[in-house]
């Protein structure tokens, strides 16, 4: 399965139907010991009045780029064998090209046209869509419900949230829709999606909110609304309405094994989109708050090694030099458990909170350090446009250096010296104890440790040799710790790894 910008194939329903019957049978065969209160479920008789109100504000986006550039095109549409020579062949080839189709129209000028959706948020022609719909298009056209087409100007786009804002001049006041409050949306609420799947303009689908706060691992700010209203290729950028005709989301992606809708779609919540769109209208880009820390999750093992009661927070792996975090006194190994008075449960929580903070403002951090909570004030900076990337380098020839066996961790350690620097390709600044081998059956192997990794700290204490590591581990065992927290360096990157102590 894959996540994608909404793109598609035909949906097969057979297996889903069988599954629903199987579930019905299981429920009918097992009586409830304690019957739940009965609720009268009501559904709207029709969405027609809502659609009459909002449909004129939904538009089709056509983004044209050179035919050789496939980066911004929707996922290719493959015409099924049973339809390739059937009565619908002309229709599909019109929208998706000859043969199997390629997810967009080809123009005589050698351009490729990717199709998507959008919606008008102000009468002067401001339009919201997805960034992946327009990509790096050379020309963007907007088609209104009445069929009139206008060239569009890109006011701004944001790759991290996959949003873009366009502007057209129609010479008249256009119908528009209003933002709603996505935070008030509950799982089970009715939703309506309007868009242009496969170029079929003004297509309406309905469903319910299936879940909230979904993280698709597409970016640090993922917080999607999951819906079961069908979405397909061409729905990207279209609006998701609540029952009051307010936009509560921007339809963006589907979860699919075949490219088509299986009833798992995702929309950017309006309470995120509205802020981003306003900033794109105003400045053309998004300025995000920045602390200057690399963070990672707090696992149960990490929490145990740090004497944290809950496996929550954001563990600081590195602190960038001359960053707001560095100036405020944050340290490697700190666990950020609160930001501006709000709890931080995961690194994603912290990333989103900081990103949404106005740059230059002072915020209070709640930090877990050395077994105690500590308050630190930090002046939130502006996220740099360029983030340096460390290129991995591999080296290693000759015999594996010997070392000291540490059975409690399933590791063999060696000192960082000229021999190990040469063998493992370590930098001249590397310092600590290098891992010479890892027991394949040990927790360290399961956690991803490998030969050539350098242990620089154990339970927040710096180590410069294998004997330092042995001493720190013995101390942890004496304190009846179940695990130790290692700071490990690999090819210039540092991360914390909690390793369970063997009970031999």
| Catalytic residue numbers, as ranges | 132, 162, 236
Contact at 8 Å (CB) between 158 and 286? yes
Alpha carbons 194 and 170: distance in angstroms, whole number: 22
Alpha carbons 460 and 447: distance in angstroms, whole number: 19
φ, ψ (nearest 5 deg) of residue 311:
-85, 70
Residues linked to residue 63 through DSSP beta bridges, in sequence order: 114, 140
Residues across the chain: 504
Residues linked to residue 22 through DSSP beta bridges, in sequence order: none
**352: three-class secondary structure by DSSP:** helix
Alpha carbons 249 and 484: distance in angstroms, whole number: 44
Three-state secondary structure string covering 206-260: EEEEEEEEECCCCCCCCCEEEECCCCCCCCCCCEEECCCCCEEEEEEEEEECCCC
Strand-strand pairing, 265-269 and 224-227: antiparallel
Contact at 8 Å (CB) between 177 and 274? no
**53: three-class secondary structure by DSSP:** helix
The CA distances from residue 475 to 72, 459, 469, 479, 497, in Å, are 56, 10, 10, 6, 18
Query: At which residue do the structure tokens 């079929």 appear?
Result: 200
Q: What is the DSSP letter of 50?
A: H
């Amino acid at each position: 399965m894959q996540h994608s910008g909404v793109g598609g194939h035909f949906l097969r329903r057979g297996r889903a139907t069988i599954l629903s019957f199987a579930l019905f049978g299981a429920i009918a065969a097992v009586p409830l010991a304690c019957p739940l209160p009965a609720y009268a479920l009501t559904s709207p008789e029709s969405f027609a009045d809502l659609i009459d109100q909002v449909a004129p504000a939904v538009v089709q986006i056509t983004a044209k780029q050179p035919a050789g550039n496939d980066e911004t095109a929707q996922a290719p549409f493959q015409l099924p064998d049973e339809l390739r020579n059937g009565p619908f062949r002309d229709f599909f080839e019109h929208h998706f090209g000859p043969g199997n189709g390629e997810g967009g129209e080809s123009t005589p000028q050698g351009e490729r046209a990717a199709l998507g959706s959008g919606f008008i948020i102000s009468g002067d022609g401001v339009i919201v869509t997805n960034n992946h719909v327009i990509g790096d298009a050379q020309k963007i056209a907007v088609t209104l419900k009445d069929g009139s087409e206008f060239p569009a100007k890109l006011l701004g786009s944001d790759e991290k949230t996959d949003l873009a804002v366009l502007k057209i001049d129609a010479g008249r006041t256009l119908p528009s829709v209003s933002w709603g409050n996505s935070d008030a949306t509950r799982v089970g609420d009715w939703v309506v999606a309007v868009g242009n799947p496969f170029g079929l303009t003004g297509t309406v689908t309905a469903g319910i909110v299936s879940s909230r706060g979904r993280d698709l691992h597409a970016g640090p700010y993922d917080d999607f609304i999951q819906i079961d209203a069908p979405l397909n290729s061409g729905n990207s950028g279209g609006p998701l309405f609540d029952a009051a005709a307010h936009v509560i989301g921007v339809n963006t992606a589907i979860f699919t094994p075949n490219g088509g809708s299986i009833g798992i779609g995702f929309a950017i919540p309006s309470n995120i989109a509205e802020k981003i769109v306003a900033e794109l209208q105003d400045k053309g880009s998004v300025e995000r708050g920045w602390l200057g820390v690399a963070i990672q999750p707090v696992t149960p093992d990490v929490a145990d090694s740090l004497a944290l009661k809950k496996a929550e927070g954001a563990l600081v792996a590195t602190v960038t030099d001359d960053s707001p975090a560095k100036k405020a006194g944050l340290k490697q190994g700190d666990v950020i458990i609160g930001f501006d008075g709000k709890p931080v449960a995961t690194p994603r929580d912290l990333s989103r909170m900081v990103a949404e903070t106005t740059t230059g403002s002072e915020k209070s951090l709640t930090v877990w350090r050395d077994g105690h909570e500590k308050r630190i004030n930090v002046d939130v900076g502006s996220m740099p446009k360029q983030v340096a990337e460390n290129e991995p380098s591999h080296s290693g020839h000759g015999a594996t250096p010997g070392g000291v066996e540490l059975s409690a961790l399933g590791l063999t350690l060696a000192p960082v010296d000229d021999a190990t620097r040469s063998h493992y390709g370590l930098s001249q600044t590397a310092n600590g104890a290098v891992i010479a081998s890892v027991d394949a059956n040990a927790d360290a192997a399961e956690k991803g440790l490998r030969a050539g990794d350098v242990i620089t700290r154990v339970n927040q204490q710096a180590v410069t040799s294998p004997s330092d590591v042995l001493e720190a581990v013995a101390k942890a065992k004496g304190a009846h710790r179940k695990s130790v927290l290692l700071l490990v360096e690999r090819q210039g990157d540092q991360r914390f790894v909690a390793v369970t102590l063997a009970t031999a």
